[in-house]
Amino acid sequence: MEFFHIERRVFRFDFVPEVLADIRIAVGIDFGTTFSGFAYAHFHNGKVIINENWPGKRGPKKIPTVLQYDEDLQVLWGFDTLASEPQKKSRRKVSTNSPRPVEPVELFKFYLGNTPDEQKPKLPSNVSPEKAITDYLREMDEIKLHWPDIDFFRMVRLVVTIPAEFTEETKAIMRQCIYNANLINNVGAQNLKFTTEPEAAAIHCMKVIKEHGLKTGASYLVVDCGGGTVDLTVRKLLPNNKLGEDTERSGGYCGGSYVDKEFLKFLEKKVGKYAMKMLRDKHYGQLSYMIQQFCERVKTRFTGVQSEFREYSLDIEKNCPALKQYVNGEARDELSDEEWEIEMDFLTVKSFFDPVVNKILDLIKAQLIKSKNCSVIFLVGGFSESKYLQEKVMKKFENFKIAVPPSPMEAIACGAAEYGLNIDIIKTRKLNHSFGVQSYPKFQLGDPPSRKTRDGRIYKFSLMAKKGVEVEVDQKFSTTMYPVYPNQTTILFELFYTEKFTAQYCDEPGVHKLGEVEVYLPDTHLGLNRSVVIQLSFGAMEIIVTAKNETNGKEYHASFNLVQLFK
């Protein structure tokens, strides 16, 4: 098991438009950190159905985002990977030829985005994060079995949800993984759409907004509390049942799995760092089973009301027997005296929740400060089912109406399918990055001498679209560029983006390459008078870059040259 570091990859694709007249079915996929699921709807009736039929199991609306690989890299998936209770240690000597136990591979979605290294799971040495994501999505090929008689690639619109903080790179990586998983037949297929998790939830919540007295012009906050991330967006109701974005969407790594991490910190204090490290490295299956038991018996039942709390005793010999051999010194003596049982009282369990819940409260507060017209807070996602979290939100924001949909865990997948039925429901979004093109003007007095090129010019970031601006879907931002030299026959335009409001140079910290497009300029007899219009189009959560040679009318599309963010 190991961590993966930066690996440079080049993803090149051209967008292939969907044929709207051919689309029959919308499928929304909620690829979550700890659980995943999908919903679907036929265009002829618009009824959204959450899938409850999984291989070998019927009923659950989500399936664990977990894989297992054997030594031949054959895959087990979902419920088949759940750890079982450890068997009692055999008195017989284990053969050295016995196969190594198969360990679960989970939380691999953390490799997307800017998750700190210490929070990323270790993966088998021959399994990259990209492979894990692709293999998991490939198993969701089960989706196709719902409609064996249709041309899936032509007639189905896929909508995949992503966290609010995903960058353009991570969207492109997800697109590549979805293509490798055989869910689309062309990496640039526009039958695949992306929406953020809170945006999908906001769409789903539109079904119940009238119950909360919301009318056109009002705003509401959606807080998607998932297993890994918490994503927030404030949406405003526009005429004709459209949605706009009132503030920049935000998010943080403080989902339900972070309560599990607090539990493991507590356990480490009891048994020692060495024991926990060896348990992770050598017996991950038992560690996974212990967390599973904690979630079922403690985490999901905790309400924050002391009179409703039942003390939980963690029986190490039963739930995690391999741990005993690594516990030394005073810790071993104390646990032996307690017969290898660790008691967890009310305040102890509360201490697992509080650091996570407080981060969520801070994220909510930050969004409400930016939005002056918000009156309702919707809690969705699996962790929003926590009674303790609900109570803390209600107490902290008592002047707001707090609403939890009947099935908050389904909200993301259902909202994604609803978005697939009506892409036009989203009218505006706020840009959470600034975008620009690299220009090459003449060097001016005051420019840094170290940046002056041999031909008396300087490379700069030329702003095209500014962070925080509210843009309509498919709105275009453009700038006009010219060749630098009269005899120039091509120009390579490089596009960049940053979380800052603007930048001076494309190589400064926090500025990332979006893509590039090469334009041919054959009419050299016109010298410098050959304009090229560079255009950014902000569509369905992805950006399309085009360049048009104004002299001959020819258009060129960007090919992306991305640095893979798995590390």
Q: Does residue 445 sit in the same domain as residue 348?
A: no
Has residue 473 been placed in a domain? yes
DSSP states of 242-294 as a string?
EEEE-S--EEES-STHHHHHHHHHHHHHHH-HHHHHHHHHH-HHHHHHHHHHH
* pLDDT, averaged across the chain: 85
Dist CA 519 CA 558 (whole Å): 10
Q: Does residue 440 sit in the same domain as residue 342?
A: no
Q: How many domains does the chain have?
A: 2
Has residue 16 been placed in a domain? no
Residues 6+ apart with CB under 8 A from 118: none
SS3 for 441?
Answer: coil
Domain CATH for 442 = 2.60.34.10
Predicted pLDDT at 561? 34
Distances (CA, A) of 484 to 453, 489, 507, 530: 13, 10, 21, 10
Q: Does residue 443 sit in the same domain as residue 345?
A: no
Q: Does residue 435 sit in the same domain as residue 549?
A: yes
- Using the 3D structure, point to which of 327, 352, 377 is the last residue of a domain: 352
Of 3-12, 62-71, 135-144, 439-448, which has the strongest mean pLDDT? 439-448
Has residue 57 been placed in a domain? no
Nearest to 138 by CA among 74, 225, 223, 44: 74
Residues 535-556, mean pLDDT to the nearest whole number: 81
CB neighbours of residue 118 within 10 Å: 6
Instruction: Find tokens 């012009």 and name the residue.
Output: 217
pLDDT class of 555 with cuts at 50, 70, 90: confident
- Using the 3D structure, point to which of 296, 319, 352 is the last residue of a domain: 352
Q: Does residue 435 sit in the same domain as residue 318?
A: no
CB neighbours of residue 146 within 10 Å: 16
Structural domain boundaries enclosing 346: 257-352
Q: Does residue 454 sit in the same domain as residue 548?
A: yes
Has residue 482 been placed in a domain? yes
- Using the 3D structure, point to which of 321, 352, 383 is the last residue of a domain: 352
Has residue 203 been placed in a domain? no
Has residue 543 been placed in a domain? yes
**pLDDT value at 386 more than 70:** yes
Q: Return the ∠ at Cα 382 (arms to 378 and 384), rounded to 5°.
A: 40
**Residue 83 or 325, more confident:** 325
Region of 286 please: left (phi>0), alpha (psi -120 to 50) or beta: alpha
**DSSP H or E stretch at residue 227:** none
pLDDT class of 9 with cuts at 50, 70, 90: very low
DSSP states of 277-346 as a string?
HHHHHH-HHHHHHHHHHHHHHTGGG--S-GGG---EEEEHHHH-GGGGGG--HHHHHHHHHTTTEEEE-H
**Residue 64 or 88, more confident:** 64
Predicted pLDDT at 456? 94
* Per-residue tokens: 125: 């040495």
Q: Does residue 347 sit in the same domain as residue 436?
A: no
Predicted pLDDT at 559? 46
**pLDDT value at 8 more than 60:** no
Has residue 440 been placed in a domain? yes
Dist CA 495 CA 438 (whole Å): 6
Question: 229-248 pLDDT, tens per residue?
Answer: 898 989 999 998 888 888 88
Dist CA 58 CA 168 (whole Å): 36
Residues 413-419, mean pLDDT to the nearest whole number: 94
Dist CA 481 CA 276 (whole Å): 59
Distances (CA, A) of 221 to 198, 245, 276, 427, 521: 9, 10, 40, 17, 49
Has residue 170 been placed in a domain? no
Question: 163-222 pLDDT, tens per residue?
Answer: 877 777 788 889 999 999 999 998 888 899 998 888 898 899 888 887 888 888 889 999
Percent of the chain at pLDDT exceeding 70: 91
